[in-house]
Each structure stands twice: as structure tokens, then as C-alpha cells.
Structure 1
Amino acid sequence: MENVLEIKDLSKKIKDFALDKVSFNLEKGYVMGLVGPNGSGKTTTIRLIMNLLHKDNGYIKIFGMDNTKNERDIKQRIGFVYDENIYPVAMKLEKVAKLVAPLYTNWNQKLFEEYIERFGLDLGKNIGDLSKGMTSKFAVAMAISHKPEFLIMDEPTSGLDPISRREILEIIQELMDDGNTSVLFSTHITSDLEKIADYVTFMDNGKIFESDSYANIAKRYRVVKGNTQILEKYKNEIIGYKGGQFGSEGLSGNWGGFEKMDGIMLQIPSIEDIMFYASRR
């Protein structure tokens, strides 16, 4: 399959934080969730992909092209939703659109107006007059009105009410219908990913913990819970192990031996479970 995104040994040092040899790929036509706790490296990775930061080592290819040498061509074909508003708060939505539209050869004004109507946005309002949810919807409309082949979203649903989050997720699902659009979706709201993600990349402390389909990852791991006296003997094999008077728990990638033990319970992990236990290593 054709990769829309290839990242290999990506490294970046920023003060006390280091992105350390990050590697993962995203195939054309799929959604990948980029998850991890705050400070895990998600936003740094996305800013490196967008060439908003300069990498120290490694490479990034988008559509098979170097993301720095071919930046202008690449950005014609991608949409980007930032984790915060990037437009002047005193500027009207209509003016923002008129300034941005000429930058894209494939800008579709009719499509943009359809999204504006669908989201209930008023082009006569200033950016600063919009709620958090409306600001995010406007950012999404701006990012997809030139029909990007690759959509990159950094925490697009953070701080939104459930209805606004659902609307944005529906838009992503509609974009995927043609099988040609790819999405990289950074979030800490794991329930959103369970609705739309084909692949999940888990980040923790600047490193990749896992990057694969959620189905494959869920097969490899089990949440282990049960008798502390038993699990204490195996705590070095349990990720994020936490012992307690009334029982112990953690995540295991070598869980077969626990199946026949009395007093031990195994559960298929959710995305949130994996993120939680991986962050406690």
C-alpha cells in the first residue's frame, strides 16, 4: 500500500524535552490516532511534520516527498487544524476566508459555504466572538474546503461539548468515504479515536510505545488484575504495575501464563487503558 506519511528516526531536543527516534507510517485512505498524555510529544511531532519546527535528525516524507524540500507542493494537498486559534480575533470570518482562499489552487468556495451553513456559522462575525466549539468548526471548514488528500488535526475536539465533537467526527468519517483521504488525528480523548481510528500510535515521554491497528494492539496486550501476592512475583513483566492491599493491576504483553492462574482476571484493553498504563512505566 502507498504511504501518505513516512517518519523515520525523528528526533528533536527542546529544552528539557526530547523527541527520541520516532518512527511510524500512515497508509493512504486511513485514519491514525496519535495519543499520549500531555507532554508526550504529540504536538511536537505534528509541528515537525508541518515544518513549523526544524528536526535535529531523521526524515519525514509526505506523499513520498521530503517535507522541507517540497513544502509548498505538499501544503497544497494537505489541511491542518491547529490546537488553538491562529486567526486574528478582530477579523471577520468572511475576511479570513478571502485571504486564505487564494493560497490554494483547489479552493472550493461552494464547498466552503456549505460547511459554513452546516456548522451554523455567521461569516459576518469576528473570530473573537465565536465560542470554542464554533472556532474549531471554522478551523475545520477552512482546512477541508480545498479537498485535501491528507488532513492533520492537533487536538481538534479538545474542550468541545459532545455535540460539537460528534459533528467534527462525522465530517472526518465523510471525508474518508472516497478512500483517498488520510487523517492524522492527535488527541487525548480516546473515545473519539474508538469511533474513527484505523490505526493508533501511542506516544510517551518523546518515544513511541506502539504503532499499529488497534485490533492488533488489543490482541498483544491484556489488562491484568487480581491477587497482589501472585502478581507481585511477576511485576517486572507487567507494564505500569501498581500493587495494593486489595489487589494489583497493570498491562501485560506476555499474558498467556496468567490465564490459568486462580484469582487473576484478564481484560482486553481499551485505548485509554493502554495509554494509562504505558504512561506509568
Structure 2
Amino acid sequence: MMNAIELNNVSYKTKRFQLDDISFNVPQGFVTGFIGANGSGKTTIIRLIMDLLQADKGSIRLFGKSMNMDEVGIKEKIGFVYSELYLNDKWTIKKAEKMIAPFYKNWNHDTFYDYLNQFDLPYKAKIKTLSTGMKMKLNIAFAFSHDAELFILDEPTAGLDPIVRNEVLDLIQKELINENKTVLLSTHIISDLEKIADYLVYLKDGDIILDNYLDEIIQNYKIVRGSNDLLDDELKDLTIFHEDNKTGFTALTKEHQVFEELFGNQVMVNNPTIEELMIYLGKGDIEGSHSSHQSQDEVASQ
């Protein structure tokens, strides 16, 4: 499988933040969900990928090349959607297109104009008159109008109402009918990923916790629920995270077969959602050697 993006042992440090030996891949032809709490470093990594920041060490390759080998050629293949629209708000959309189009040899005015119509964006409207949602739609229209192969989307649905969010997600899915198209979608709205993600990268405290196809992740991790008296200390050591409440325990584990063999239908075993994976892996011990033990009241208060 070809990778659209490869990070190998990338480190980056400021006075307040550190990424240390970050490695992960974004496979070509899939939607990769890039998740992590606010401040975990997702936007910093995206800026490193786009060569807006320089890594202290390690390598970043896009389409098999480092950015300094062919910056213009690589960036022409990327549709980049920032979390904000960085354009002069005194410009009209028409003026913005005039300024941006020359950077892309495959710029397609007809495609861009079709997106404007689809999104109800007047061509001669000034950017300062656009709402947050309209600005994000414009951002997407620019990214999707020059025949890009890789879309890097940094919180593209933040601040959008549910109807517009669904429009944006449907648009991304339509683009991926072509199997050569690749998406790296950074978001804190996990329900967006439940709908479209094929691959998952989870960044926690500057470290990569997950980097795999979603199907394989769900095969490896299971949610087990049962009566509190079933969960002794030995079984707790087989959990990555567990919590007790009045109705019983909930645990994330890679050893669900042990629970099933011991207790049969006394326990329920389910596939985790992406949101459950993020919460429980975020609070638990990834190695599974020392499970985290919190009540639901404690979890809710954090």
C-alpha cells in the first residue's frame, strides 16, 4: 500500500510544547481520521507536514518525496483546508480566486464556480460579509477546485451547524469515489469520523497512540461489560481502562476472549466506537499493565 504521507521519528519542541519521535503513515486512497484532545499537537503536525514549520529532526515525505525536493509540485497536489480562512476580508470571492488560481496549474474555474453555486456563495460577495460556515465552505471550494490528490483538512467542520457539516462530509465522500484521492481529517468532532474514516491516527500528549486501519483497531480492542463482582485484580490487569458504577463495570481490553471463556453470557462484549476508543485510551494505560480505575462520576467531572 502506498502512503500519501509518511512521518518518521519527527521531533519538534517549543518552550511550551514538545513532539518527540512521532511516526505514522497516511495511506493513499483512504480517509484518515486524525484525533486528539485540544493542545495535543494535531495542528502543529499539520503545519510541519505542510512545511509551515520546520522539524528539529526526523523526516516527512509526501507522495514519497520530502517537500524540499519539489515544493511546488507537491503543494499543487494538496487541497489544504485551514481551520480559519486566511484571506483579505476586503476582497470579493472573485478577487480571491484571481489571487489564488495562478498557484495551481490545474485550477478549474468551472469546478470552483459550481461549488460556489452548490454552497450559495455569491461570486462578487466580499469575504467580510460571509458567516463562519460560508467561509469554511469557500475554503473547501478553493481546496477542491485544482484536481488535488491529497486533502489535508484541519477542523473543517468546526463551527458549522449539523446540516452544513453533513454537506461537507458528503462532499468529502464524493471526492473519494476516485480511489487515488486521500484525506487527512483532523477533528475533535468524533461523530464526523464515525461516518467516513477508514484509518485512524490518535495523538495523545505528543505521542502516537493508534496508527492503523479502523477495522483492525476494532478487531483488537473490545468493550466488556459485566457485574462488578466478576472483575478481580488479575482481570483488572488485562484491561487498558476500567470503571465501576452501580450497574456493573465497563472495561476496554485486548483480552476479551478471556472474559468470554470465564463468564460466557454473564458479560457483554461490543466493538468500541471511535469516541470510546479516544476516551478510554486517553484515560487508560495503553500497555495494559496498570489499568486506570475511575468511577463514572470522576470521568464526567474531567
Return the match for 2:278 from 268, 275, 278. 275
- Are the equivalent residues in 2 in contact too, given 1:240–1:279 (CA < 8 A)? no
Identity of aligned pairs, percent?
42
Query: Deviation of residue 15 (structure 1)?
Result: 2.5
Residues 12-23 of structure 1 mapped to structure 2, 5 A cutoff: 12-23=12-23
Cα shift at 1:244:
4.1
User: Which amino acid in structure 2 is aligned with residue 238 of structure 1?
Assistant: T
The equivalent residue for 2:256 is: 255
Q: Which residues in structure 2 correspond to 1:49-60 (within 5 Å)? A: 49-60=49-60
Instruction: State the distance in 1 between where 2:237 and 2:14 align.
Output: 32
CA–CA distance in 2 between the matches of 1:131 and 1:229? 54
Q: Compute the displacement of 1:29 (Å).
A: 1.6
In 2, the alpha carbon distance for the partners of 1:177 and 1:165 equals 19
Provide the C-alpha distance between the structure 1 equivalents of 2:39 and 2:52, rounded to a whole number of angstroms.
18
Number of the residue aligned with 1:4? 4
Normalised by the length of structure 2, the TM-score is: 0.88
Question: Secondary structure of the equivalent of 1:39?
Answer: coil
For residues 93-131 of structure 1, give each alpha carbon's deviation from its aligned partner in whole angstroms, at most 9, with x where no partner exists.
111111101111111111111111111101222222211
Per-residue deviation, residues 164-188 of structure 1 (Å, max 9, x unmatched): 1111111111211122211111112
State the one-letter code of the partner of 1:274: L
Opposite residue 111 of structure 2, the aligned amino acid is L
Measured after TM superposition, the shift of residue 231 of structure 1 is 2.6
Give the count of matched residue pairs: 281
Counting only pairs closer than 5 Å after superposition, residues 52-131 of structure 1 correspond to structure 2 as 52-131=52-131
Distance in 2 (alpha carbons) for counterparts of 1:133 and 1:122:
14
Q: What's the offset of the Cα at 1:145?
A: 0.7
Amino acid of the structure 2 residue aligned with 1:86: Y
Q: Give the TM-score normalised by structure 1.
A: 0.94
Structure 1 partner of 2:152: 152
**Matching of residue 264 in structure 1 with residue 267 in structure 2:** yes
Offset from partner CA, 1:174-231 (integer Å, 9 cap, x none):
2111222111111121221122221111121111111111111001011123333433
Match of 2:289 in 1: none
The runs of 5 or more residues in structure 2 that have no matched partner are 285-302
SS at match of 2:176: helix
Q: How does 1:146-225 map to 2 (within 5 A)?
A: 146-225=146-225
Aligned residue type for 1:190: I
| Structure 1 residue 243, shift from structure 2 partner | 3.6
- When residues 145 and 40 of structure 1 are mapped into structure 2, their CA distance, relative to the original with a 3 A threshold, is same
Q: Distance in 1 between matches of 2:72 and 2:45?
A: 19
